[in-house]
Amino acid sequence: MKRSIYLDHAATTYMKKEVLDAMIPYFSQNYGNPSSVHSFGREARKAIDKAREQTAKVLNARFDEIFFTGGGTESDNWAIKGVALANQNKGKHIITSAIEHHAVLYTCEFLEKNGFEVTYLPVDSYGMVDPQDVEKAIRPDTILVSIMFANNEIGTIQPIKEIGAITKEKGVYFHTDAVQAVGHVDIDVNDMNIDLLSLSSHKFYGPKGVGALYVRKGTKLTPIFHGGAQERNRRAGTENIPGIIGLGKAIELAYENMEENNKHLIRLRDKLINGIMDRIDNVRLNGHPTLRLPGNVNMSFEYIEGESLLLSLDLKGIAASSGSACTSGSLDPSHVLLAIGLSHEIAHGSLRMTLGDENTDEDIDYVLEVLPQIVRRLREMSPLFIQEKGGCQYV
Ligand SMILES: *Cc1c(COP(=O)(O)O)cnc(C)c1O
């Protein structure tokens, strides 16, 4: 039987059976519009309110601080553009980091073209933002700091609580893209002084195309969708009821079993990292060795192209990703790998494998059997490798 091993959970996850089961009635018999006053509408209203409750609970937020959206990208766009528009009388300066997801980076670039000023903070070689850099970058006209909770490529988890303490003291709004962190990290928006937080259901075994934005009560935020009075007048458009129900169920499940799941992921992750280090030379781990997402492995293999590695792995039934899922197809190396100081050449030889709760020891054993063979074959064909190593060598 052909093997099929999915190691791309940072791109998306499968949806859990319990999540699908919770959603199904809302596609057919419970099809009411929550804005309607009749019993059909009230049924739908009750269901989204339950999902709001489930979401608020895991973040230690209030029920009325959760707003459902069309996913992580919309949440990021809304948080950043919404704060920018609502607070431009105070100032037009925003601080973010060089390693954000494009949903944040390109939103900031859009604002720069429209009269705002953005500071892109550097990161260290592990991909860590220094909270002191945040503090130093804050000016009287700064309105927002947006720093991701955990990075989607290299898995590094940022010092969010330290940054939150600084933004609170300075009176600047703090947004975090927590799309990769939700379901793997304990998040308390009060303890961490987070004012806005983005999350996306399909990254934690829920449906695609639905997410949420946490907005601290009192935050000045302009809507970006205009129309009906949904989401307490802040996000117009008839709600994606089945999606929202699925998000609520998925986030509840993710936190119910988080410790156990994380333990499983960390064990497999470290087995994979150490196994690769033992079997292959001229390889480096990208991201922080311990302050990283439980399922994230990102490594650079010298003398080879990540894309060739990906294709060879795919032929063996292993689904992974290179530098960045979002830039594959283009020849630019990942902005994250460049920001942690990798050369273009090394960045091009990078592979991301992100584990999920259905992965097993057998999956890892199979990767550890197949990957060294592929790397050896690709290096034997690499002019750079032959030149530097003086002929065909083993990895
Ligand atoms: C996946 C992802 C997004 C985008 O979320 P979508 O729901 O796919 O729009 C944003 N930020 C990070 C860190 C992500 O991993």
Mind listing the pLDDT tens digit of every residue in the chain (395 residues)?
567 999 999 999 999 999 999 999 999 999 999 999 999 999 999 999 999 999 999 999 999 999 999 999 999 999 999 999 999 999 999 999 999 999 999 999 999 999 999 999 999 999 999 999 999 999 999 999 999 999 999 999 999 999 999 999 999 999 999 999 999 999 999 999 999 999 999 999 999 999 999 999 999 999 999 999 999 999 999 999 999 999 999 999 999 989 999 999 999 999 999 999 999 999 999 999 999 999 999 999 999 999 999 999 999 999 999 864 444 456 689 999 999 999 999 999 999 999 999 999 999 999 999 999 999 999 998 877 766 766 544 44
Helix (H, G, I), strand (E, B) or coil at 245: helix
Tokens of 231: 């989401």
280 closest CA partner among 389, 368, 153, 382: 368
pLDDT at residue 383, as a whole number: 76
**Cα separation values, 167 from 4, 123, 144, Å:** 45, 18, 9
Instruction: Specify whether 326 is catalytic.
Output: yes
Q: 200 CA to middle of ligand 1, Å?
A: 6
**Cα separation values, 220 from 35, 57, 234, 319, 344, Å:** 25, 23, 11, 42, 41
pLDDT at residue 155, as a whole number: 98
Tokens of 143: 């309105």
Q: Which of 177, 197, 334 to mutate for ligand 1's pocket (most ligand atoms within 8 Å of CB)? A: 177
7 closest CA partner among 271, 282, 377: 271
List Cβ<8 Å contacts ≥24 apart for 271-277: 271/361, 271/364, 272/297, 272/353, 272/355, 272/364, 272/367, 272/368, 273/297, 273/299, 275/364, 275/367, 275/368, 276/368, 276/371, 276/372
Report the largest interatomic distance among the alpha carbons of the chain, rounded to a whole angstrom. Answer: 78
Q: Give residue 371's region: left, alpha or beta (phi > 0; psi -120 to 50).
A: alpha
Q: 72 CA to middle of ligand 1, Å?
A: 5
Query: Using CA positions, which residue lies closest to atom 5 of ligand 1?
Result: 72
The ligand 1 atom at the shortest distance from the C-alpha of residue 203 is 1
pLDDT at residue 189, as a whole number: 98
183/380 Cα distance (integer angstroms): 41
Q: 10 CA to middle of ligand 1, Å?
A: 9
Pocket of ligand 1 (CB under 6 A): 71-73, 76, 101, 103, 148, 152, 177, 179-180, 200, 203, 211
pLDDT at residue 323, as a whole number: 65
* Residue among 266, 285, 319, 326 flagged as catalytic: 326
Tokens of 256: 């119910």
